[in-house]
């Protein structure tokens, strides 16, 4: 594999792999340290999304990588912090790169541009004595792909948004630079406050009334924020507060409602 050292990261590049996340998890199983190791692939034969989902990406067009983090400074109960940090790093980098301001974090793990999905994050953590140990952070970002299969709901790529081709390595390095900064921030109380604030500012649909499928029932709700354990906190029209995990709530979109 081609190797590049960038800041405190060791970047590895491969043409094809089953899944960059799986490769990292195998390194952990083999007793190797994955801290600050990044594996970036042109193509995944078995790319994984949240739950049972498959992650599709045309060969060489998009950013597919996994990043290893020594997450020992984070309590197991606070693991959603990693999702917040990486999502902010991605959204901030994309906004700076394109000068578009409509990038949002759709809870729990999607990167959105307006009403469309640009990317996703998939995290696996190992835990030791109530603290996180190693974290594998996988990111798939649609960058230069122009067409998508019909089965993918509401996909979009950067190229479709701004009509130019992007250098994948440049985006990768920008995200890693911002990620490092956010990790440092997460080590102080003041920094944690900033992360939480900025995360909520970028949260898709925060404060807006929309229809959601909650345990197979449609309800009009509004997102208030993120609660304990990274749960989505929502308010009903009757003023009741509910806490949802990702299996309970499904966001509904206009094209599904008519």
Q: Among 138-146, 177-185, 220-228, 231-239, which window interacts with ligand BTN (CB under 6 A)?
A: 138-146
Interface with ligand BTN, residue 17, by CB under 6 A: no
Q: How far is the CB of 65 from ligand BTN (least distance, A)?
A: 6
Helix axes 189-201, 168-185, angle to 10 degrees: 130
CA-closest candidate to residue 13, choices 38, 36, 51, 40: 40
Closest CA to 98 of 82, 83, 84, 111: 111
By CB under 6 A, residue 225 contacts ligand BTN: no
Binding to ligand BTN by residue 109, rule CB under 6 A?
yes
Q: Does 160 bind ligand BTN (CB under 6 A)?
A: no
Q: Long-range contacts: 97-100, Cβ < 8 Å, 24+?
A: 97/158, 97/166, 97/171, 97/174, 98/158, 98/161, 98/162, 100/161, 100/162
Q: Which of 25, 37, 47, 145 binds ligand BTN (CB under 6 A)?
A: 47
Least Å distance between CB 151 and ligand BTN? 14
Q: Contacts with ligand BTN in 58-97 (CB under 6 A)?
A: 64-66
DSSP 163: S
Q: Applying CB under 6 A, does 108 fall inside the site for ligand BTN?
A: no
Please report whether residue 145 would count as binding ligand BTN according to CB under 6 A.
no
- Listing DSSP states for 224-249 in one string gives EEE-GGGPEEEEETTS-EEEE-TTTE
Q: How far is the CB of 252 from ligand BTN (least distance, A)?
A: 18
Decide whether 53 or 241 has the Cβ nearer to ligand BTN: 53
Interface with ligand BTN (CB under 6 A), residue from 92, 120, 134, 168: 120
Assess 19 for contact with ligand BTN (CB under 6 A): yes
In the chain, the largest separation of any two C-alpha atoms, in whole Å, equals: 57
Tokens 């995990």 found at:
245
Least distance between ligand BTN and beta carbon 93 (Å): 16
Three-state DSSP at 120 gives strand
Taking the mean position of all CA atoms in its chain, how far away is CA 45? 20
CB nearest ligand BTN: which residue?
Answer: 120
Q: Nearest approach, Cβ of 28 to ligand BTN (angstroms)?
A: 14
The site for ligand BTN (CB under 6 A) is made up of 19-21, 44, 47-50, 53, 55, 64-66, 109-110, 120-122, 138-140
């Amino acid at each position: 594999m081609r190797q590049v050292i960038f800041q405190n990261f060791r970047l590895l590049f491969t043409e094809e792999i089953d899944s960059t996340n799986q490769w990292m998890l195998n390194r952990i199983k083999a007793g190797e340290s994955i801290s600050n190791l990044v594996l970036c692939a042109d193509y995944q034969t078995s790319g994984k999304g949240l739950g049972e989902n498959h992650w599709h990406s045309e060969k060489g067009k998009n950013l597919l990588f996994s990043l290893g983090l020594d997450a020992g400074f984070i309590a197991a109960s606070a693991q959603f912090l990693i999702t917040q940090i990486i999502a902010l790093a991605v959204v901030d980098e994309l906004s700076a790169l394109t000068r578009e301001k409509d990038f949002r974090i759709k809870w729990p793990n999607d990167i959105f541009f307006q009403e469309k999905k640009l990317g996703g994050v998939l995290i696996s953590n190992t835990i030791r004595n109530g603290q996180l140990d190693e974290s594998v952070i996988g990111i798939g970002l649609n960058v230069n792909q122009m067409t998508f299969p019909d089965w993918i709901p509401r996909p979009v790529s950067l190229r479709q948004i701004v009509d130019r081709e992007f250098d994948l390595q440049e985006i990768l390095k920008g995200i890693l630079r911002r990620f490092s900064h956010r990790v440092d921030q997460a080590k102080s109380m003041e920094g944690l406050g900033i992360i939480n604030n900025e995360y909520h500012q970028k949260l898709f649909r925060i404060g807006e009334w929309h229809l959601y499928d909650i345990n197979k029932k449609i309800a009009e709700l509004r997102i208030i924020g993120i609660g304990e354990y990274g749960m989505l906190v929502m308010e009903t029209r009757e003023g009741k507060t509910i806490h949802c995990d990702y299996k309970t709530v499904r966001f509904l979109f206009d094209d599904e409602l008519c």
